[in-house]
Every structure is written in C-alpha cells, then in structure tokens.
C-alpha cells in the first residue's frame, strides 16, 4: 500500500441502505475537492462499483509487473473490484477466509498510483472482511451509512461498536433516504422515520455528515453508470456530497491514526 496515503472505509450494519451509492459519490466529491482518489470494492460477494461507474463488464485489469494489477480508471477514479475479475453471472461461493484472502490480494496486489485517499466500499455487516481490513490496513477512519428507520439504526450501532473495538475512528454518519420530496405536489414526507441518524450520531458523539433524500435521480444515476457528480453536477444532492467531502477532509487532517490491535477472547 505504498502508493496510498489514507484509507477511509464506507460501511453499514445492513445492506440496502445506499452504502455503495455513498461510497461512489463521496469518492467523486473528494476528487472534485482536489484529492487523488481511489475506490476499492471490498464487497467480494456482491460487487457493484463497476456498474455504478459505468465500467464495461468485459473490462479486465491490465498487468502492472511484480504480480500486480493496474487499477481500472473510471471518471478519474482509480478503481478495483472483484467484478473486474469474474463475469456478472459468476457467484463467489466462498467461505469467509477465502473472501478475506481475496480482499488482501485486492489491497496488496494493485498498483495504486500515489493516492491521497483510498475509499473502500465495505460489505454490510461485521464479519471477516471488516476485521481483515481493520487488521491489515491502517484505516484513517470509517463512515457509517444508515437510513432513519429503527431496524437500520440497530445495525448501524453495531457497525460503530465494531470500529470502536478495533480502534478505527468513526468520522461520521451519512443518513440516506432521510425524506421523500413528491415530484407532483412538492410535499416532503419522512417515509422511513425522522432524525434517526442524528440520534445515533449524538449517542456516539460523532458528526452527522449529511442527510440525503430518497431521490429517483440518485438511484437512476447509479444504475446507468453516470453518478450525479458527473451527470448532474447542479443536483441538490451533489452539494450535500461536497459538504460531506469537506467535513471528511477536515476530520482527516485532525484525526489520530492508531494501529488497530485485534484481540480474540
């Protein structure tokens, strides 16, 4: 990892809360703020970064010497994903140690080129991949993504507790689907609940980095491979991601970076 200055993990306690969407747009927002940014898809079982960035499914990483692979560049980001190594129809029917080994290869056998920040899109949960990344890579911090509903907040707390146990600072919380704005009448309704992310942020004394709406454009931009920061730079959500990136850069400048020590009892 000599070519990487700082690593940020984007994590969630459960799936379906918009973690990968957040990882992609946060990476692009950091890049727009002048950083050299990479994006690693650590979701071995369900990689989605390639599709969200519009990478051709037939794209394969080029060799970079010394048994390394060159990252695939998409929208200016240096990226790597298991999706670049298998076909869309190939399931990763692997036990935890095999997935953890694949993550180590993606980390250590990619020729990252002088990155200021590597954003890692984590799989949901608190299992092998999370522990392996915390143990083998010196994380500058983590961002926890959630929605306002209680069931998502329950798992978001578990994700925060996990990072606390492995001495990785939680840089903040991103709340997705915070409200729905009706396109017909303009009515705003908190479909999944109100201020859940703010309550968890207050409970753990971490910043609430931003609240994103349940927005059709945000979803369709990811499905089409043209994220909002690229395809619709004037969209309201882009300003929110820019504010998140600004807060993360400020937190990285001031945060200590202890080496995690994992103890199994």
- The sign one gets for the Cα dihedral 123, 128, 131, 133 is negative
Is residue 262 in a domain?
A: no
For residue 242, the surrounding DSSP H or E stretch is helix 236-254
Is residue 183 in a domain?
A: yes
> At 220, which CATH number?
3.40.50.300
Contact 82, 92 (CB under 8 A): yes
Q: From residue 260, give the alpha-carbon distance in Å to each of 47, 100, 136, 145.
A: 26, 17, 9, 21
Q: From residue 30, give the alpha-carbon distance in Å to each of 109, 166, 261.
A: 24, 25, 29
Is residue 264 in a domain?
A: no
Is residue 128 in a domain?
A: yes
Cite the beta strand spans of 122-207 per DSSP E: 141-146, 170-175, 180-181, 188-189
Out of 70-84, 127-141, 164-178, 231-245, least confident range = 127-141
Question: What mean pLDDT comes out for the span 76-90?
Answer: 88
Is residue 33 in a domain?
A: yes
Is residue 104 in a domain?
A: yes
Q: What is the pTM of this model?
A: 0.89
Is residue 261 in a domain?
A: no
Give the confidence band of 262 by pLDDT, cuts at 50, 70, 90: low
Is residue 260 in a domain?
A: no
Question: What mean pLDDT comes out for the span 140-149?
Answer: 93
At 108-137, the pLDDT tens digits run 899 999 999 999 999 888 888 888 888 888
Domain count, the chain: 1
Give the confidence band of 258 by pLDDT, cuts at 50, 70, 90: low
Question: What mean pLDDT comes out for the span 196-221?
Answer: 91
Which domain does 63 fall in, by range? 4-254
């Amino acid at each position: 990892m000599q070519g990487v200055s700082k690593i940020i993990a984007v994590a969630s306690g459960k799936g379906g809360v918009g973690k990968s969407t957040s990882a992609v747009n946060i990476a692009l927002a950091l890049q727009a703020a002048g950083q050299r940014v990479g994006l690693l898809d650590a979701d071995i079982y369900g990689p989605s970064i390639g599709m969200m960035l519009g990478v051709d499914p037939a794209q394969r990483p080029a060799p970079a010497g010394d048994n390394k692979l060159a990252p695939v560049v998409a929208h200016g980001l240096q990226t790597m994903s298991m999706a670049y190594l298998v076909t869309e129809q190939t399931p990763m029917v692997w036990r935890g140690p095999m997935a953890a080994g694949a993550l180590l290869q993606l980390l250590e056998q990619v020729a990252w080129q002088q990155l200021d920040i590597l954003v890692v899109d984590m799989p949901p949960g608190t299992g092998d991949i999370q522990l392996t990344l915390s143990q083998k890579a010196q994380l500058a911090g983590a961002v926890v993504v959630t929605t306002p509903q209680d069931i998502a907040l329950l798992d978001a707390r578990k994700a925060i507790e996990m990072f606390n146990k492995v001495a990785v600072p939680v840089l903040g919380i991103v709340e997705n689907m915070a409200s729905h704005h009706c396109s017909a009448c303009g009515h705003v309704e908190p479909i999944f609940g109100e201020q859940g992310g703010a309550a968890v942020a207050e409970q753990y004394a971490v910043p609430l980095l931003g609240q994103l709406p349940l927005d059709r454009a945000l979803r369709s931009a990811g499905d089409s491979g043209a994220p909002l920061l690229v395809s619709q730079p004037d969209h309201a959500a882009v300003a929110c991601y820019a504010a998140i990136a600004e807060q993360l850069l400020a937190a990285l400048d001031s945060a200590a970076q202890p080496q995690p020590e994992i103890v199994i009892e």
